[in-house]
Chain A
Amino acid sequence: MEFEPVIGLEVHAQLLTDSKIFCGCSTKFGASPNSHTCQICLGMPGVLPVLNRKVVEYTIKMGLATHCRINEACNFARKNYFYPDLPKGYQISQYANPLAEHGYVDIELENGKKRIGVTRIHIEEDAGKLMHDEHHPFSYVDLNRTGVPLIEIVSEPDIRSAEEASAYLRRLHEILVYLEICDGNMEEGSFRCDANVSLRPKGQEAFGIRAELKNMNSFRNVQRALEYEIKRQQYVLEGGGVVVQETRLWDDTGGVTHSMRSKEEAHDYRYFPDPDLVWVAINEDWVEAIRKDQPELPLEKRERFVRDYLIPAYDAGVLTTSRALADYYEAVVHLTGKPKIAGNWIMGDILRFINEEKREIADCPITPQALAEMIRLIEEGTISGKIAKEVIEQMYKTGKPAATIIAKKGLVQITDEGALVQAITEVMAANPKQLEQYRSGKDKVFGFFVGQVMKATQGKANPQLLNDLLKKMLAR
């Protein structure tokens, strides 16, 4: 029997606020343990949490970017459970009335676009961090992360394969980063994902029994875990067995998912409205003010680049991987009017330089103006494209403008006919055999002569002029 996977994803994204969701403690990552904590996030009796306005604004931004309805009113609820990383004994979350609902994102697949529904986006607080002692029966608790704002983005069960899941996650990730509301760092846990997976016989409407997957901390691991879990369930079902509804942990080293047996007791969170926090009312003016401020999103940017700059979709994809890179590219395009050429230099050289040194485009010593100037020098014939490869490397190393490097190193292209004729004459005289071959009809030898003259001129011969002159002189 052929089975069809049904996947829904829950993504937790840490919001890039300076202070925590309900108190003024810093959210900075990497501080010494238990130093970013106060009465409120420690859950001391009698304290009053007050909502950080920026958390609401950022969540509205994500809601708008995923075409959600922004609810006029939302509130907070307590999710009750005991765990040592949760000092209050409850997590403040949103339950019956989330901030945003009923949206979607379009993902790009090899065979076109697909729309994945977003059920809801709600606000909640993060829990602390536990470290387990390998040798002693203790765990250690750091509560710095407690109360860091999160949004949970819940998808509809619209995803049908591990590839689709991966595409959906990348899409959410790039939107969050473009909106500058999440740093997207998966290693530090700023972007985390849980998955609900079930299989059903192809053509059947009703869903099968699902397993929940946790502990996948990279895009690659999400894809691997889902691929494994789909195979595992298929194996169970084909053997006539039943999938158990349970939480399973992805084991990266083993490449398998394990049942998390300790949580066999059904979740009973006893949600109720948090009496400490008043309702949040969001009027149209607020939403509109945020909408006006929204940046162009990556997918729209890619489509515009392909449409307006006539560059391949692949190039547009690379050039929009970050907002800063896209801005850099567009600045060069506006200065040169050469979208394809600008793209090639950025993708081929600039990105290679900065990736090698793990730098950000913002820290690139070659400004868009400097790159545009170099492209202009090629267009004007001052330097050849080949020489430019050397020039751009020097520009990156020294931060100096192209013109300075060209003058200093004597790299100006030879466009003087007399000088080139002389170089060609010398090369012809030195290679009588090849000359004879060419004149007896072996056109291929032409390339040999181009190479020789280039060598003799240290690559400075203007390629077009060299071509024209060579053709004339060899034919004689």
Chain B
Amino acid sequence: MKIKKDEVTHVAHLARLEFTEAEAEKFTSQLNNILLYMEMLNRVDTTGVPPMTHAVAQQNAFREDNVTPSLGRDLTLANAPDARGDFFRVPKVIE
């Protein structure tokens, strides 16, 4: 086993996903298969090979510090599930 059910539930919670008991079982087994498959890569000797983070070897892609037009409030709020006045409106969050 590469992953246990409580880890799956934990990750699901972090991703704000809700699973039924049956789904959690099913995804645990599916994720296990995926992880076991990927595990094959560990057989390759990677001594001295630096980890790769990008498929392209490009570096230093910059933009200059120039202001360009923004979308504007109306377009910004257009897809919001809830908005009021100039703002997005969300269920109250208090720390």
| Residues of chain A at the chain B interface (Cβ within 8 Å) | 17-19, 23-26, 32-39, 42, 50-54, 56, 73, 75, 80, 82-84, 130-133, 136-143, 249, 260, 262-263, 268, 270, 273, 275, 277-281
A32 near B61: Cβ-Cβ < 8 Å: no
Report chain B residues within 8 Å CB of A51: 61-63
* Cross-chain contact of B73 among A32, A54, A263, A278 (Cβ < 8 A): A32
Report chain A residues within 8 Å CB of B68: 19, 23-25, 38
| B residues 49-80 in Cβ contact with A at 8 Å | 53-54, 56, 58-73, 76-77
A33 near B73: Cβ-Cβ < 8 Å: yes
* Cross-chain contact of B93 among A32, A33, A139, A273 (Cβ < 8 A): A139
B61 near A141: Cβ-Cβ < 8 Å: no
The chain A residue sitting closest to B52, CB to CB, is A273
Majority secondary structure, A binding face: loop
Is B44 part of the binding interface, using a Cβ–Cβ cutoff of 8 Å?
no
Against A, the Cβ 8 Å flags (1 = close, 0 = not) of B17-56 are: 0000000000000000000000000000000000001101
* Cross-chain contact of A143 among B66, B67, B76, B84 (Cβ < 8 A): B76
- CB pairs A–B below 8 angstroms (9 shown): A50-B63, A51-B62, A130-B93, A132-B94, A139-B91, A262-B95, A275-B53, A277-B61, A278-B61
Q: How far is the CA of A137 from the CA of B87 in the complex (A)?
A: 15
B14 near A38: Cβ-Cβ < 8 Å: no
Q: How far is the CA of A36 from the CA of B70 in the complex (A)?
A: 6
B88 near A26: Cβ-Cβ < 8 Å: no
3 shortest interchain CB distances as A-B pairs: A24-B68, A140-B87, A33-B86
Q: How far is the CA of A273 from the CA of B64 in the complex (A)?
A: 23
* Cross-chain contact of B76 among A34, A130, A140, A277 (Cβ < 8 A): A34
Minimal beta-carbon separation of B6 from chain A (angstroms): 13
Give the size of the chain B interface in residues (CB under 8 angstroms). Answer: 36
* Cross-chain contact of B77 among A34, A53, A263 (Cβ < 8 A): A34
Report chain B residues within 8 Å CB of A38: 68, 70-71
Minimal beta-carbon separation of B10 from chain A (angstroms): 8
* Cross-chain contact of B67 among A19, A34, A131, A249 (Cβ < 8 A): A19
* With A33-B73, A42-B76, A279-B53: A50-B62 Cβ-Cβ less than 8 Å: yes
* Other A-B pairs beyond A24-B63, A84-B93, A141-B89, 12, CB < 8 Å: A19-B66, A24-B66, A34-B87, A38-B68, A42-B76, A52-B62, A73-B59, A130-B93, A138-B84, A139-B90, A262-B95, A275-B53
A140 near B65: Cβ-Cβ < 8 Å: no
B70 near A37: Cβ-Cβ < 8 Å: yes
Q: How far is the CA of A82 from the CA of B13 in the complex (A)?
A: 11
* Cross-chain contact of A37 among B76, B91, B94 (Cβ < 8 A): B76
B60 near A278: Cβ-Cβ < 8 Å: yes
B90 near A141: Cβ-Cβ < 8 Å: yes
* With A34-B86, A132-B94, A140-B88: A52-B63 Cβ-Cβ less than 8 Å: yes
- A17, A140, A142: residue with the most chain B Cβ atoms closer than 10 Å: A140
Q: How far is the CA of A39 from the CA of B76 in the complex (A)?
A: 8
Report chain A residues within 8 Å CB of B62: 50-53, 56
* Cross-chain contact of B63 among A53, A137, A140, A262 (Cβ < 8 A): A53
The chain A residue sitting closest to B53, CB to CB, is A273
Q: How far is the CA of A270 from the CA of B77 in the complex (A)?
A: 29
Q: How far is the CA of A84 from the CA of B16 in the complex (A)?
A: 13
Report chain A residues within 8 Å CB of B73: 32-35
Minimal beta-carbon separation of B81 from chain A (angstroms): 11
Report chain A residues within 8 Å CB of B10: 268
B66 near A82: Cβ-Cβ < 8 Å: no
B66 near A83: Cβ-Cβ < 8 Å: no
* Cross-chain contact of B88 among A82, A84, A278 (Cβ < 8 A): A84
B93 near A53: Cβ-Cβ < 8 Å: no
A18 near B67: Cβ-Cβ < 8 Å: yes
Minimal beta-carbon separation of A437 from chain B (angstroms): 76
B77 near A139: Cβ-Cβ < 8 Å: no
B86 near A278: Cβ-Cβ < 8 Å: no
Report chain B residues within 8 Å CB of A36: 70
The chain B residue sitting closest to A279, CB to CB, is B59
Minimal beta-carbon separation of B70 from chain A (angstroms): 5
Report chain A residues within 8 Å CB of B16: 82
* With A35-B73, A52-B62: A279-B92 Cβ-Cβ less than 8 Å: no
